[in-house]
Structure 1
Amino acid sequence: MPRDTLTADRIVRAAIELLDDEGLDGLNMRSLAKRLSSAATAVYWHIKTKDDLVRLAGDAIWHEVELPDLDACDWRTAATAHANGMYAMLTRHPWLGQAFGSHLLHGPGQARYNDLSLAIYEKAGFAAGDADRAAATVFTFVLGNALGPAAQVSLNRRLNKNGADAEQMMADAMTRATETAMQFPRLRERLGTTAATEYAAAPDNTFAFGLQSLLDGFEVRLAAKSANRRG
């Protein structure tokens, strides 16, 4: 493919696909060029380094998060949709959570998300400094919850690349973990009852529970400040 048929946008889209398939460790200019039916030198013509590529790809996927309309809903509805959108994006692209710890990530996509986050908590009634703190608290909570699914994707990829039976290894690990858990009273109680299946599925509801608990806490804090002002 001639070099002039490539664009930075095409390269970034291909990089996102490669990152989704192979993770950060699987991203290199040679593999990317092969995916684009091009030469690595042609890729370098548009994007100079792998770090630049990760930064551009990492920012591009923030545009997938649909931003709630603050004029059409209350702040809690907006905050919930905003956080859920980030969580869904991170679970679609599990490599981004890893990239936060190894690359300098910035750009208009993430800035767009962060700006609306501040607007949400200002609408709730927080002053600028507390709006920053509320936004950062929710951001960190969402990122932390997305690390579990991301780690599972990374682990399965590593096991499969090593020729291992990932499902069997996971099953063996779960068996050993259950045997260990049975030595502790509260874990034994949960795993040894008819509620064990529900307990095992609990992480599926942890994100929603935690997010709503955070927002509940924000409401209590706002109400207390309002009462202090009236007093």
Structure 2
Amino acid sequence: MTGKQFTSVWTREPRPARSPGRSRDEIVRAAVELLDAEGLDGLSMRKLGAKLGSGATSLYWYVANKDELLELVYDEFWSGMTMPDPAEASWRHAVGAFARGLRQLILRHPWSVGLIGRTPALGPNAMGITDSLRRAFKLAGFAGLEIDYANTALTAYVFGMTIPEVAWNQAVAEHSFDRASMVEAVATAAADYPELAKVIQEAEHADPLAVREMAFSFGLASMLDGLEARLVT
């Protein structure tokens, strides 16, 4: 038995524009603007067509369906990633810049969380940054499959730290939580755990954004320390 044939918008040449000023790139840029404003649930071919001043039907000349549009949008997301040339910077500097850049990119475009792991990353921007990251690990001294294992470990760390942060930011924005009441609720829940209660009290006046940044940096340094340790064993 054979499964459904896998297809991708990146496996064929883009169709030429049907009208002056209209192109696939223009459609993708408009889709990103719509996603930034309304999130994944707010993106539809009808809304996109209206934003572009054309009917949804005309968009299907450029993309076969919404899934293909999301493939294009996902690669546009990756176009926002840059990192130092692995041949000109230390591998820790290059890899660290990748990790910090990816976190900021996800926070800037929270809708990307819904595409990570779900939408194929086969476009030139995604492939290019992946190749650069692999080269950084190869120049560090990793070889064979360990290059990909290191790559996976790093991106999993970034996703694991950032995706819950996006979810919390969205929850706070959606419910308009008052910070003081949140701190009070957590302190009440931790009343029977003196060490936790002390930490919560100490963090009451801390800048949450700065705390998250420091937590991410600490974890990233620890991750890179662990990867570096594998190179000397």
TM-score after normalising by structure 1: 0.83
Q: What's 2:73 paired with?
A: 57
Tell me whether 1:197 sits opposite 2:205 in the alignment: yes
Report the 3-state secondary structure (helix = DSSP H, G, I; strand = E; otherwise coil) of the residue aligned with 1:72.
coil
Q: Cα deviation per residue 1:116-170 (whole Å; 9 max; x = unaligned)?
A: 111111111111211111111001111122213321343356x3xxxxxx32466
Tell me whether 1:178 sits opposite 2:187 in the alignment: yes
Q: Cα deviation per residue 1:50-107 (whole Å; 9 max; x = unaligned)?
A: 1111111011121111131122211111111121222221111111122125434432
Report the 3-state secondary structure (helix = DSSP H, G, I; strand = E; otherwise coil) of the residue aligned with 1:35.
helix
Looking at structure 2, the residues matched to 190 and 199 of structure 1 have their Cα atoms a distance apart, in angstroms, of 14
More helix by share: 1
Looking at structure 2, the residues matched to 170 and 106 of structure 1 have their Cα atoms a distance apart, in angstroms, of 41
Report the 3-state secondary structure (helix = DSSP H, G, I; strand = E; otherwise coil) of the residue aligned with 1:192.
helix
Given candidates 97, 121, 133, the residue that maps to 1:117 is: 133
Query: Which structure 2 residues correspond to residues 131-146 of structure 1 after superposition, within 5 A?
Result: 131-146=147-162
Looking at structure 1, the residues matched to 218 and 102 of structure 2 have their Cα atoms a distance apart, in angstroms, of 16
Tell me whether 1:96 sits opposite 2:133 in the alignment: no
Relative to structure 1, the CA distance from residue 102 to residue 66 in structure 2 (aligned partners, 3 Å threshold; closer, same or farther) is closer
Given candidates 55, 67, 70, the residue that maps to 2:83 is: 67
Q: What's 2:12 paired with?
A: none
Matched pairs, number: 215
Q: What's 2:97 paired with?
A: 81
Report if the CA contact (8 A) 1:3-1:38 is conserved.
no
Looking at structure 1, the residues matched to 181 and 205 of structure 2 have their Cα atoms a distance apart, in angstroms, of 18
Report the 3-state secondary structure (helix = DSSP H, G, I; strand = E; otherwise coil) of the residue aligned with 1:197.
coil
Q: Cα deviation per residue 1:174-196 (whole Å; 9 max; x = unaligned)?
A: 53233212332221111234x54
Q: Percent identity?
A: 34
Relative to structure 1, the CA distance from residue 175 to residue 53 in structure 2 (aligned partners, 3 Å threshold; closer, same or farther) is farther
Relative to structure 1, the CA distance from residue 192 to residue 168 in structure 2 (aligned partners, 3 Å threshold; closer, same or farther) is closer
Tell me whether 1:27 sits opposite 2:35 in the alignment: no
1:10, distance to aligned residue in structure 2 (A): 0.6
1:35, distance to aligned residue in structure 2 (A): 1.4
Q: What's 2:230 paired with?
A: 221
Report if the CA contact (8 A) 1:190-1:199 is conserved.
no
Report if the CA contact (8 A) 2:82-2:129 is conserved.
no
Structure 2: runs of 5 or more not aligned: 1-16
Q: 2:161 is matched by which residue type in structure 1?
A: N
Given candidates 16, 19, 23, the residue that maps to 1:4 is: 19
Structure 1: runs of 5 or more not aligned: 160-165, 225-231
Q: What's 1:207 paired with?
A: 216
Report if the CA contact (8 A) 1:117-1:135 is conserved.
yes
Tell me whether 1:42 sits opposite 2:78 in the alignment: no
Looking at structure 2, the residues matched to 25 and 156 of structure 1 have their Cα atoms a distance apart, in angstroms, of 18
Looking at structure 1, the residues matched to 41 and 178 of structure 2 have their Cα atoms a distance apart, in angstroms, of 22
